[in-house]
Structure 1
């Protein structure tokens, strides 16, 4: 098993290090697709690239400080408007009306801490106080992703920045330093692709999948790890005579809305499939409450079976769920009536950030999920296909 795990980790390294960030519709995503296709072909499968169109949302934000070097990067809050504004930077705590009344916010860029109030309430309060723009600082060092929500009524640019920039910006606010915030929100059409590996007769009686794109970083755990495991399972299935029943799909454009799996389900009748196993983050076992290893899916019986198989091997991987507003490609198959589950290690501290690198994952954690996944696949083929 160690040799298999190291071989799998090498696939992870190629995707996350040699290719790097693999954003939907980019040349790097296409390079990753070609790599996955070559590995499936080497294992003896018939491989096709199935292209589909996506509307890629562009969100870029920054805070530029006169004479202070490179801009501070940020992200426009969801549903906010594009725009640019320049003014003195002032700090107004959490954005309560009385806090804003204590600073001269007229024409200013208001710096606010995350917490207590909704993002929309913070922005509305600041705009009522005369602010030209708003910068919200995250509570933790990582990037801030959030939304104003629908019908927010805010007409000034609002961006979020990582918590690590909070203290330097507060220091600048003490001197009312002149800053410019920039928010760009839009979309553009892009082409992505799924990599589909089929047995020689082309019949898919069950599916295994993983998304190979990433966002805001090299995506070592999310999801070079799942893609690497998928490649290894394809080879194991061929070696053990399981491949005549299985199709393997590396999905593109998952990070921007499950586009790859949805495109596949639209293009193919999957309703008769015995099961679908999806692998999303399998190389960093989480230790925080609610972020541990788990089987996640629309099919509780399949998730419970996975937990039982893991327990037989000495691993505690229970049935669980993603955090609110998170999902993965199993959902597209569940909606089409296929028993589906995502195999997930947790360990989400660095996902969607430049810190999701090969240095934050381990071959030992990957080996656990390779061991469990092979055992689960063997059992499912025996019980549901043969």
Structure 2
């Protein structure tokens, strides 16, 4: 047995035998949520260690007003919404973008934001609105896209942004009294902003953060570290091969060139101060109304996405789960994305 295997065996044994104070650990990354289910992590833990998914899926936290705005844009003359596939099925207040497309609206699905360039060049008479959702991970990509638009002087592309930032929402969760004793910090986000970005928050709330990658080994190491650091405001980097303490300086500079922070509306969670990225004033002519999003009215009033995203309830506690709300007929965003909390739990069974 290698040293790595011996270390992993010791971690597994510790986590399975843990008999200390109850530990509720939240992951705030949709990819972590999927990886935890895929690797069967909950079954390797003591009953006193509970993992709960937080607001780590960018599609899930997109408010209904954003979807409604995309639908309205898809119906405008000489306008086409450009989006990733998941957003086509996310419910707004009265329907989905896919339903709008079926009824005559125009929306194009792409696999890369840069596909928008070719679409815009092929139809200069059409305005293409790219649905830019995500966290700090995707913000540099959108900045690169805008950089290319400026270099090529392409006049018919706009952005509808719903780019969110993780530290403010974690801060808001803690301020709201979240029953959490530690956080698995998002690995992809940390690649960009760095492990140190979570230090002020860890010290403020006096909870341990473990930056993790996406293998079973990464996740178990982070959970073990968090459990052992219970009650201390520390940040531990268990993903050093990809995450530098200070993050990616070039990506940060690119985002800072084109974007500025502002208050942002989260699905089911309200407005969180300083938790969004918006195009700076100098580039606002490329914006399609991102700052005007004010409302979050679920299509089905019984939908409890907000409570699921905050970790207040399990998806199974929502009255719509597996009844009115299924992957084929989602009532909320958490049942749409492969990284969604509700879909992950649905697929467990």
Pair in the same fold by TM > 0.5: no
- Max radius of gyration: which structure? 1
So what's the TM-score if we normalise by structure 2? 0.23
Whose strand proportion is higher, 1 or 2? 1
What is the TM-score with the length of structure 1 in the denominator?
A: 0.22
- The structure that is helix-richer by fraction is 2
